[in-house]
Structure 1
């Protein structure tokens, strides 16, 4: 993923201000924030739905390995 940086971010904000106007930018920001929050909660729910156990498997003359198993 490319690194945008501060100058690129400022340019994007200026273009958005020109296109959408100052009245719409807070609404767009709020909608983007809600979308990201819902996406985060959805992915967290998916991760929580699949419980995994970890157990240590020891083999002679080798380091300990962690094995993941699903229930």
Structure 2
């Protein structure tokens, strides 16, 4: 009594097509796929517990190299900076 057979599944699919229309079904399937993708990524994020995932193929910088912070602006050189003309 608890299992669905092929006739029941076909009737359910027919009712869905009649309710939503054949034109909206691809859009519904696409949005369901996106929702599942988002759900899967959120579950993976919960498993990692906020730890950043390594980028595939990325090589970590060596310990003695200096990586510039993109938030800071580089210092301008008064010799090459055109706004600082002839200040001696």
Q: What band does the TM-score fall into relative to the shorter chain?
A: 0.5 to 0.7
Q: Could you say which structure has the larger radius of gyration?
A: 2
With the length of structure 1 as denominator, give the TM-score of the two structures. 0.56
Relative contact order, higher structure (CA 8 A, sep 6+): 1
Gapped runs of 5+ residues in structure 1?
52-71
Gapped runs of 5+ residues in structure 2?
52-88
CA offset digits 1:5-62 (Å, max 9, x no partner): 54443222211100011100000011111101100110111001178xxxxxxxxxxx
Q: Which has the higher helix share?
A: 1
RMSD, aligned α-carbons: 2.4
With the length of structure 2 as denominator, give the TM-score of the two structures. 0.47
Q: Which has the higher strand share?
A: 1
The 5 Å alignment of 1:30-69 reads: 30-49=30-49
